Chains A and B, each alone.
Chain A
């Protein structure tokens, strides 16, 4: 089983739609979780950290489900500018390194 798994997509959604991505992780001892956004041919940029109680930043909501070992990202009122690849990132407690998922591609159309 991969350490971090994501549905590669693409998710094609109209402007204004709500879309959600899930990401599963294999190590139950992981403590740090993040979502990064990567535009085509650019570097990944931190979108938001994921806290145990869940957290919201504007139209973006992140949730952590420890029992089922997954994190989610919900995007409300999708904008064209949200089109990107979203990377799920989880720490590896054994090595203190971050493990990156291969990303979920989102395409928002007019």
Chain B
């Protein structure tokens, strides 16, 4: 069966510091991969998605970036965090674009 994991689960970072969140999927090949953010009391916002290695689509212009160095690995990065980057970050995968999506456990980021 397929599993998805992301880490770290929780982190507190100072403003201006870098960020790296990592996500891996097991048990499937060539998944569609996503990064979402959920701010306090708000809905899920799609940040990036990828349909294949090295292919990244950005949904919202911001100081975050994403990379997919391997088929089942998706990384969310920032060179300099802002206070507004605080939130719950979720990695997800799907077999078919626009169909059922499965989430990782999430990463809580607090920028101080």
* CB-CB under 8 A for A34 and B97, given A43-B105, A97-B46: no
What is the interface size of chain B, counting residues whose CB is below 8 A from a CB of the partner? 18
Interface residues of chain A, those whose CB is within 8 Å of chain B, are: 32, 34, 41-46, 49, 87, 89, 91-93, 95-98, 100-103
| Interchain CB contact (< 8 A) of B44 among A42, A44, A45, A92 | A44
Q: Are B97 and A96 in contact (CB under 8 A)?
A: yes
Q: Which residues of A contact B103 (CB under 8 A)?
A: 43-45
User: Which of A41, A43, A46, A87 gathers the greatest number of chain B CB atoms within 10 Å?
Assistant: A43
User: Closest CB-CB distance, B5 to chain A, in whole Å?
Assistant: 11
In the bound assembly, the distance between CA atoms of A95 and B51 in angstroms comes to 13
Q: Which residues of A contact B100 (CB under 8 A)?
A: 34, 46, 49
Q: Are A43 and B101 in contact (CB under 8 A)?
A: no
Q: Are B98 and A42 in contact (CB under 8 A)?
A: no
Q: Are A41 and B101 in contact (CB under 8 A)?
A: no
Q: Are A91 and B99 in contact (CB under 8 A)?
A: yes
Q: Taking CB as reference atom, which chain A residue is nearest B91?
A: A43
B45-80 residues with Cβ-Cβ distance < 8 A to A are 46, 49
User: Which of B44, B49, B104 gathers the greatest number of chain A CB atoms within 10 Å?
Assistant: B44
